[in-house]
Structure 1
Amino acid sequence: MPSSSHHPGAAASPPPAPDRSGGAGAGRPPWTFLTNHGHVLLAVAQSRDARVSEIAAQVGITTRATLTILKDLEDAGYLTRHRVGRRSHYTLDVHRHFRHPATAAHEVGELLAVFAPGVSRGTPDGA
C-alpha cells in the first residue's frame, strides 16, 4: 500500500544514488579521472608555496588527507619539500615516471603540461 505522503498523479522521484565518494563532500561526483594524489600534485605545481590548508581547499579534501598525500608524493620522489622560514616550498621532479604499468612510459611533466601549462617540463624543478 502506498505511503500516506504519496500524492496520486505525482511523478515518483528516483531514489538517491548510492554514495561511493569515499566521503567526498556534497556536490562532488562519486569518482573522477584523476586521483586526489594527482589533484594535489597539480595544486602544488600551480603554487609551490601554497599552505597545506590552501591545497586541501582547492582539492576538496581534509588537511590530514592532504598531508598524507604530500608525504606519499615526497616518499615516491615526485616532490621535495624545503622549509623556508615557517613555510614549505615544494620542488617537483617533472621527469619522474607514472607508477601504473599502463602509463609508466610517461613522465609526470606530461600531465602537468596539460593541466598546469605554465609549468616547464624542461627542468626537474619545473621552474
Structure 2
Amino acid sequence: MTGLAGQWYFLTNHARVLFVIARDPVARLRDIAEVCHITERTAQSIVTDLEQAGYVRREREGRRTRYILCLEGTLHHPAEAHVPVRELLEVFTSRDGQH
C-alpha cells in the first residue's frame, strides 16, 4: 500500500488472500504475503480468519501446508449473503478472462 491519504480499494486483503490460495493451494505464507503486498504476519492472521469462517481448511503435506477451499457457502456480509463463494472465485481466478 502506498499510504496515500484517502486511497481505498475495491477488494479487501481477505479477498486477495483467498484468490491467491485458489490459484495456488500450496502457496507458502511468504508467497501469499508477497503477492498481496502485506506482511507474512498479516497473511497468517487472514488465513486463520478464513479458516475460522469456514472458507478454507489446512492440511499438512510433509513440511508444507495445502489449503482446501470450502466453496459451498456464501459471503458473510448481509448485502452479499446470496453470492456463493464459488462464483466470486470463478470471476477473479479465471485464467483467460472467460466465465
In structure 2, stretches of 5+ residues that fail to align are: none
**Residue range with higher mean Cα deviation, 103-112 or 66-75:** 103-112
- Name 1:63's counterpart in structure 2: 40
* Equivalent position amino acid for 1:38 in 2: A
Give a deviation string over 1:35-82, Cα, whole Å, max 9, x none: 000000000000000000000000000000000000000001000000
2:18 matches 1:41 = yes
Aligned residue type for 1:34: L
Greater C-alpha radius of gyration: 1
Alpha-carbon shift at residue 26 of structure 1 (Å): 6.2
Q: TM-score, normalised by structure 1?
A: 0.70
Per the alignment, residue 81 of structure 2 pairs with 104
Which structure carries more helix by proportion? Answer: 2
Structure 2: distance between partners of 1:108 and 1:68? 20
- Between the aligned partners of 1:41 and 1:25, the Cα distance in structure 2 is 22
| Residues 83 and 30 of structure 1: CA distance in aligned 2, closer, same or farther (over 3 Å) | same
Unaligned runs of 5+ in 1: 1-23, 119-127
Query: Relative CO higher for 1 or 2, CA cutoff 8 Å, sep ≥ 6?
Result: 2
Once residues 85 and 11 of structure 2 are traced to their aligned partners in structure 1, the CA distance between those partners, rounded to angstroms, is 13
Matched, 1:54 2:24: no
- Aligned counterpart for 1:95 among listed residues 72, 77, 89: 72
- C-alpha RMSD over aligned residues: 1.6
Once the 2 structures are TM-superposed, how far is the Cα of residue 30 of structure 1 from its aligned partner? 2.4
Residues 84-103 of structure 1, C-alpha deviations (whole Å, 9 max, x = no match): 01100000011211010000
SS state at 1:69 partner = helix
CA contact under 8 A between 1:78 and 1:94: conserved in structure 2?
yes
The match for 1:82 among 55, 59, 69 is 59
| Inter-partner Cα distance in structure 2 for 1:48 and 1:70 | 12
